[in-house]
Structure 1
Amino acid sequence: MNPRDVGALGQQVLDAVGTVVVGKRGPLELVLAGILAGGNVLLEDLPGLGKTLTARSFAQALGIGFRRLQFTPDLLPADVTGSFLYDQRSHDFTFRAGPIFTNLLLADEINRTPPKTQAALLEAMQEKQVSVEGTTYQLEPPFHVLATANPIEYEGTYPLPEAQLDRFLLKVSFGYPEPDEEWEVLRRRMARRREESELRPVVDGPTLLALQAALEDVVVEDSIGQYIVALAAGTRAHPQVLVGASPRGSLALLLLSRAWAALDGRDFVVPEDVKAVAIPALAHRITLRPEMWLRRVEPATVVAEVLNSTPAPVSGALPRYS
């Protein structure tokens, strides 16, 4: 596999998912870039805008295992990771794997479960493994978490801690469709004559792993890397920000920029790739000062200001690390 293969197959996956999720090519490209970069994606948007459908469609198009876990206030960590049960036949305890043992886990309404259960995902999202009662179990690659959250209804919810938000490679929102797009959704539903939609796999698990490995061949020139660092540092120095993006944020920006370039069929990153993914990669990683909520300042606005104030590089030199 090479980056051009990533671009060709990636567009085929997007075309397949686009037959079900109508008119959201840009957000779908961001979700796929997050998966190709090996990360986890937070889908934060209003109910009924296709978040669950997006996760299921990507699992079908990518040909990987899929499980959906509905997060509720009474969900326990063992309901996520699994637990040991006593087997009367063998007179011993055996491990029963939880729904996290899959390739693509949809953590539906992740902010509706207590922090203790939310934290059950931390090790899996970062280390690709699960520890239960002192025993560590490796998760079969590829493994990704697509979590959904409702940004307006806060009654009975538990906000995600900053440490867990930082584990998501990017945050994506879809927004309402245009009238023509919404009518197309209704038209396709009538044409299907059933509620469910099925997609044929475009790739499979081993092919997805090969696509992810091909991103290592996407080169990043030094000035581009320094531009990424400057953007992350700019969020820390912004007067409206209490806590800026960590080095994990700049690393996420690097990985997503490489994936975005590969989806465009290139084996090198340009400043426009960085700009395209900067807000999804950094906005959820910064904490604004408490008084900013009175002014209705959004983290995305802060990242946009940092983008506008940070000069982009124009160098065409080769990367020194290679």
Structure 2
Amino acid sequence: MTTDNTTAHGAAPKDTPPEGDRPVVELRGAGKSYGNIRALHGVDLAVHSSRVTCVLGDNGAGKSTLIKIISGLHQHTEGEFLVDGEPVRLSSPREALAKGIATVYQDLATVPLMPVWRNFFLGSELTRGPWPVRRLDIARMKKTADEELRNMGIVLDDLEQPIGTLSGGQRQCVAIARAVHFGARVLILDEPTAALGVKQSGVVLKYIAAARDRGLGVIFITHNPHHAYMVGDHFSVLRLGTLELSAARSEVTLEELTNHMAGGAELAALKHELSQVSGVDVEELPQAEDLAAPTAPAPASSEGKS
């Protein structure tokens, strides 16, 4: 397979972190149980600065639980959670943000009818004047929002327009720029391209690469292996709460990543079932041995990374 490693932002993902680069966020054998239900078990994950770590998995794989642990919504019940090499037990998203961990959820936590600049500073508004007659510093907030958006390559003609009038991709990009402005070192993106079309997904992927280029460690949660492979430096695939695959970009091809994500064994079984149905041609489907992706994929040859 010939794959173009250049991202939409023009920079190729890195296969391995720089030597001696300590992860900003790291999970070691982490897990989470809700009573008798084990939602996550034995997960290892390392997030480095200037790298995109993609976490893939189908519905129910444990992605949401993983996000909640790292963002401080829930505490892990097994294993270790480290920030800058120090074990932590975060008790709230505010505590996570204080350590530089910001999360952009699918709903983006925006108010559709409010202007772009107001949403940019929502909950952290700038004020001026003496107490008790302090008032919003609207001019400074508009200027700062415009500068930060332009630094990310986002140019909006009118910051007064309601953020609900922007496209889904533009709203995602405003949320990313907001997290960067407020000091995020690790940015968690929860399925940012799930509800977007092809063009808008490309816009979001571009700004994910831009965030990496600005030195952030990005955790890109997705169920789309093609989107992940465009910007990812490292890939972790979850299945039923456990880590099925953890591989650097140089160690896995897009086909192998897709098979791990889709479940090669399940697809092989499905092909067998379809072969019993009249009117369904399964000859053109991949063979069972092609669908069963290896547990520990061998490094791809140089021909596969042109």
TM range (shorter): 0.3 to 0.5
TM-score in terms of structure 2 length: 0.40
**Is the helix fraction higher in 1 or 2?**
1
TM-score in terms of structure 1 length: 0.38
